[in-house]
Amino acid sequence: MKTIDDFNFENKKALIRVDFNVPLDENYKVTDATRIEAAKPTILKVLEDGGSAILMSHLGRPKNNEPEFSLKNIADSVTEIIGVQVKFVSDCTGEEAEKATANLEPGEILLLENLRYHKEEEAGDTAFAEELSKLGDIYVNDAFGTAHRAHASTTIIAQFFPEKKCFGYLLAKEIKSIDKVLNDNESPVLAILGGAKVSSKITVIENVLDKVDDLIIGGGMAYTFIKAQGGKIGSSICEDDKQDLALEILKKAKEKNVNIHLPVDVIAADDFSEFANTQIEDIYTIADGWQGLDAGPKSLENFAKVVSNSKTILWNGPLGVFEMEPFAKGTIALGNAIADATANGAFSLVGGGDSVAAVKQFGFENKVSYVSTGGGAMLEMLEGKELPGIAAIRD
């Protein structure tokens, strides 16, 4: 795996694919700079070697080059975080971009305009990728969040740098962390899968059954498993057409000696609202008109025991509707259990949009081993797929 450490960037222009697809407020100010901070070590390595950095990214899903999707909006935040004045150019290819990169001195940073202002980016257009490639000497992919897309700047461009392409620190770390969970792990290995739908996690479950000793299934998707086994789940969320699949997963897990842990009790509510009436219910006998919105106290006790016995932990998906305060206790308790296990030497990887949001909201970010920056990309790696953005660097 060629990383940025395999190159010296002295007097070289590094063309770095970053993931600066960050949230902005109504005044186009960055509200969460995590992704910019994550790219900082890679950018600084280039500058410290005596090279210059050309940053390319997408932002949002522009249809007509709308100004709210211009990367110019984030240039000040990038300057502030990296600690070096960032120059901006209002295109990512063509005469203007070529002139701006040609004039770039060692130690300088140039931010290109939104790649998705060109439809050729998402189309994976070779000619567009070649235009981009003219801007730098060495191609660095540090955008894990888009590594599962075969776009011009994430995948196609690599062919124009046969010997001069590598992973940035962030992307290398992501690959190593997921590999540590799936292949290079210490037993017992635990996967915790939450969230609303079984359907979005089927392939992940199927792939991890060969790698784990224990699997906790929580969140909304637990109810499909409970109903499939004859439980009464009231008005709880359920994918009726996935019940057979749930039974099949339970059967496969048994064959592979994987212990599946489902909630035994829940915090049920008479309405999907934080002002609803709540009561603790056995998960197999939830009353009509009530829905489970969080794991109950006995479930949390059981889960904490499994977590504390584990040496490798993957967490993807919350245990309840943590956005509402009355139904956040399960996710917080799970976070605390994982933090304790990590402090005692376990390796813990958290990934997936909702889990990452929960980890940040409740202050667990520095209490787990690694927080992944890419939701879709991480899920595809957990499914056992080779991501095009990663394969392009390895080729």
Catalytic residue among 2, 176, 232, 376: 376
- Whether residue 384 is annotated as binding a ligand: the answer is no
Active site residue 394: no
- Whether residue 194 is annotated as binding a ligand: the answer is no
- Give CA–CA dist 227/299, Å, rounded: 17
- Whether residue 35 is annotated as binding a ligand: the answer is yes
Catalytic residue among 87, 197, 232, 298: 197
- Whether residue 144 is annotated as binding a ligand: the answer is no
Active site residue 296: no
Instruction: Determine the straight-line distance between the first and last CA of the chain, rounded to whole angstroms.
Output: 10
- Whether residue 352 is annotated as binding a ligand: the answer is yes
Active site residue 353: yes
- Whether residue 354 is annotated as binding a ligand: the answer is yes
- Whether residue 49 is annotated as binding a ligand: the answer is no
- Whether residue 83 is annotated as binding a ligand: the answer is no
b/e map 35-49, b = 16+ CB within 10 Å: bbebbbebbebbbeb
Burial class (CB in 10 A: 0-12, 13-18, 19+), 353: middle
Neighbours of 179 (CB within 10 A): 13
Cα angle at 28 between 22 and 31, to 5 degrees?
A: 45
- Whether residue 19 is annotated as binding a ligand: the answer is yes
- Whether residue 394 is annotated as binding a ligand: the answer is no
Please give the full DSSP string across 240-291, using - where no structure is assigned: GGGHHHHHHHHHHHHHTTPEEE--SEEEEESSSSTTS-EEEEETTEEPTT-E
Neighbours of 123 (CB within 10 A): 13
- Whether residue 355 is annotated as binding a ligand: the answer is yes
Catalytic residue among 87, 107, 311, 353: 353
- Whether residue 323 is annotated as binding a ligand: the answer is yes
Active site residue 197: yes
How far is C-alpha 318 from the geometric centre of its chain's CA atoms? 14
Catalytic residue among 12, 13, 17, 35: 35
**What type of residue sits at position 350?**
V
- Whether residue 110 is annotated as binding a ligand: the answer is no
Q: How far is CA 356 from CA 115, 234, 265, 349, in A?
A: 26, 29, 25, 10
- Whether residue 60 is annotated as binding a ligand: the answer is yes
Indicate the annotated binding residues for ATP.
201, 292, 323, 352-355
Indicate the annotated binding residues.
19-21, 35, 58-61, 116, 149, 201, 292, 323, 352-355
Indicate the annotated binding residues for substrate.
19-21, 35, 58-61, 116, 149
Indicate the annotated binding residues for (2R)-3-phosphoglycerate.
35, 116, 149
Show which residues are catalytic.
35, 197, 353, 376
